Amino acid sequence: MSFLRTLHILCFLFCVGCNLQSNAQDTAHNTVDTNIIDSVHADSSQTTFDVKPTRYQLQKEEFTFVLYLISSELYDDALYTLNRLNTDSIANPNMQDSVNYYIGWIKYFKQDFHGAIASFSAVESSSIVIASSFYNSICYIQIDSLAKARHVLQNLDVSSDAKLDNLKILQLRGISLLERDFTSYDSLSLLSVERSFVTESEMNEMTNYADLMRSYKRKSPWIAGLLSAIVPGLGKFYAGYRGTPFGAMYMTIPLGAIAAESLIIAGVASLQFIALGALFGVFYVGNVWGSVLSVYAKEQEFYEELDHNIEFDLHTPVRRAFR
Amino acid sequence: MSLICILPFAGLSASPTELVFFRSADSLRAAGLIDDAIIAYEYAAYTAINNLTRTKALVNKADCLLEKDRIGQSELTLSRLNYFGLNDSLQYEARYKSALYSYLNKNFEESIAQFKMIQQFLPIEYSINSKPLYALALNETREWTEAKEQLHTWGKYHFSEDTAVMNDFNARINETYQVKNHPKLKDLDKAQVWAQLLPGTGQLYSGYFFDAAFTSVMVLSGIGIAAYGVLVAKYYVTGILLGYGVFQQFYLGGQKRSEFLANERNYKKERAYNDLLKEVIIKYSKTKKAQF
């Protein structure tokens, strides 16, 4: 079966090679970064030939087909073809890098961040190593490995390109905010950056996020607990919740009323009061404790929302820079 | 001027190179290498200079995807087809498969839209064959009268040489599609109104007796608890709060449940009726004269 499969693939690849001269694949080229295409098409002088196509030419044509699949959003097909191509020993190191880069990119797109990191890390040389590193750092951020994301960026030398240097600083600023490391954020803010459409709006957003984080003051859990002890649910209202306090009131106050009535009618030593009082006590103490915790929960929600926005604003310029 | 005349027909012949790709994909499929065949057909479509080869390649790719149970992607693949310049038989095959895969993907509106295209753009010799599946799709969207008409047209064409079979077919279709046999669907608003007026009757309206009985008992219990607390035990607060709590939960819950059960009943009725129709249509579609 495997022999048959190999035979068919060879036959298919031969057919692909025969068709080299007749194809113009402009559609795919429009959607990818020029740097990446350059690495694949560096050998463009060899696109025409009279004899049997070389292994490189066959692989190059198949890779061009992959670019078409990606531009047509046929990601499953593209990934399958790339993996198949990857199992062959690829003749050209630039193409090997491109294959790894696109496997990484598709996995990143499908949110398989661990798989994407493995593929991006396999890119060793050529011009796409920069793009791979940026995507790699994004993937590390997604899996909460912020130190690794920082490490990848710090090892990246893009000082010769102002646009990419801006992008690197933006990423590092974002990571600092995600780590709540304001000292590092401030030192990065001191670096002078040129205005660039790739990063400008996100740079401003980072400043806003930093200001929001700095100005955020957590409410006092003591006050929240005390308020809930006086009026059930009021502590949650103080913490910032608007719907749940009434839910707490509807449960605790009627239970309190029932227990009180039981106390008045049956007396403090009655089994009925002990049961209802205990039930009310559980709800009452639970409500007070819940109000204390709600202050921390609200704080966590605040930071989670900001983290989400920061991550989004780190993705967007990378996608913009390496379309 | 000559170019204008030639261009509309430019896509009707395939170059030998294109056919090589196509055959390579075919052989992969024949060898059971479906995943490779899917890519190979896509490649054949990608390299195709004429629309005919591209269409064939994409149709075959969709078939392969279906073999791998990727129905959604099959439908998506056929949505990429361009029907311009195709001959009638290929256009019919492509549109029919597109309608079929949409039907299998439970996208009935899209399936019906394709059948309407077949009727509009292709001769009756082609469109007639698609009518049984068209009727199945119409059944799913509750357009039973239209489905019946489509089946009568199909029967008249296919069984014209055998009057006995045609009469039998027509009688069966008329009988099955009688308006009195159409599922009597429950009105969701009515179910909710009943549940508001008298707790439990909403469920009873949809035919769920035990559900109705349970809701009624629980709502009455709420009232009973309140009455007992106030009138007998003299636990006014406890009686009212507890009684009201039970009453409110089951009264409001009963209204939502009534709507849910009416929906469920409608689905079951429709499914039962459409499955019966499906059986009849498939039975007659399998008759010797009705091979399509």
Distance CA A55, CA A43 (A): 13
User: Which DSSP string do the residues of B17-57 spell out, in sequence order?
Assistant: HHHHHHHHHHHHHHTT-HHHHHHHHHHHHHH-SSHHHHHHH
User: What is the reported pLDDT for B19?
Assistant: 78
Test mutation, A13, A29, A79, A258, chain B, max B CBs within 10 A: A258
Mean pLDDT is lowest, of A42-51, A246-255, A313-322, for A42-51
The verdict on a CB contact (< 8 Å) between B36 and A5 is yes
**pLDDT category, B84, cuts 50, 70, 90?**
confident
Mean pLDDT of all residues in B122-142: 91
**pLDDT category, A110, cuts 50, 70, 90?**
very high
B49 and chain A in contact, CB less than 8 A: yes
User: What is the reported pLDDT for B15?
Assistant: 61
Mean pLDDT of all residues in A1-28: 43
For residue A149, give both structure tokens. 């994301």
**pLDDT category, B16, cuts 50, 70, 90?**
low
Q: Chain B: residue nearest A253 by CA?
A: B241
Distance CA B204, CA B210 (A): 8
Burial B64-92 (b: 16+ CB within 10 A, else e): bbbeeebbebbbbbbeebeeebbeeebbb
Distance CA B182, CA B4 (A): 54
Partners of B27 on chain A (C-beta within 8 Å) are 8, 11
Question: What's the mean per-residue pLDDT of chain A?
Answer: 82
User: What is the reported pLDDT for A26?
Assistant: 35
Partners of B235 on chain A (C-beta within 8 Å) are 261-262, 265
**pLDDT category, A58, cuts 50, 70, 90?**
confident
User: What is the reported pLDDT for A159?
Assistant: 84
B12 and chain A in contact, CB less than 8 A: no
The verdict on a CB contact (< 8 Å) between B17 and A5 is no
Mean pLDDT is lowest, of A109-123, A244-258, B98-112, B118-132, for A244-258
Host H or E run for residue B187 = none
Distance CA A73, CA A78 (A): 9
Reported as a single tens digit per residue, the pLDDT across A184-226 is 999 888 876 677 777 888 888 999 999 999 999 989 999 999 9
Reported as a single tens digit per residue, the pLDDT across B238-267 is 999 999 999 999 999 999 999 999 999 999
Say if CB A153 and CB A140 are below 8 A apart. Answer: no
Shortest distance between the Cα of A16 and any Cα of chain B, in A, equals: 8
Q: Which of A318, A305, A323, A304 is nearest to A171 (CA)?
A: A318
Q: Chain B: residue nearest A83 by CA?
A: B36
User: What is the reported pLDDT for A284?
Assistant: 94
For residue A32, pLDDT over 70 is answered with no
Nearest to A77 among B25, B31, B42 (CB): B42
User: What is the reported pLDDT for B261?
Assistant: 95
pTM: 0.72
User: What is the reported pLDDT for B48?
Assistant: 87
For residue B32, pLDDT over 70 is answered with yes
For residue B3, give both structure tokens. 């170019």
Question: What's the mean per-residue pLDDT of chain B?
Answer: 88
Partners of A11 on chain B (C-beta within 8 Å) are 24, 27
B81 and chain A in contact, CB less than 8 A: no
In B16-35, the residues whose Cβ lies within 8 Å of chain A are 17, 20-21, 24-25, 27-28, 31, 33, 35
Q: What residue segments make up the domains of chain B, in order of their start?
A: 12-82, 83-182, 188-263
B240 and chain A in contact, CB less than 8 A: no
The verdict on a CB contact (< 8 Å) between A265 and B49 is no
Partners of A23 on chain B (C-beta within 8 Å) are 47
**Is the CATH code 1.20.120 the one for domain B83-182?**
no
For residue A179, pLDDT over 50 is answered with yes
For residue B204, pLDDT over 70 is answered with yes
**Is the CATH code 2.50.20 the one for domain A1-151?**
no
How far from chain centre, in Å, is Cα B114?
13
The verdict on a CB contact (< 8 Å) between A257 and B241 is yes
According to DSSP H, which parts of chain A are helical?
Answer: 2-18, 26-30, 34-40, 55-71, 75-87, 93-109, 113-121, 128-142, 146-154, 162-179, 182-189, 200-215, 221-230, 234-239, 244-266, 271-321
User: What is the reported pLDDT for A54?
Assistant: 72
B8 and chain A in contact, CB less than 8 A: no
Mean pLDDT is lowest, of A6-20, A170-184, B105-119, for A6-20
**pLDDT category, A2, cuts 50, 70, 90?**
very low
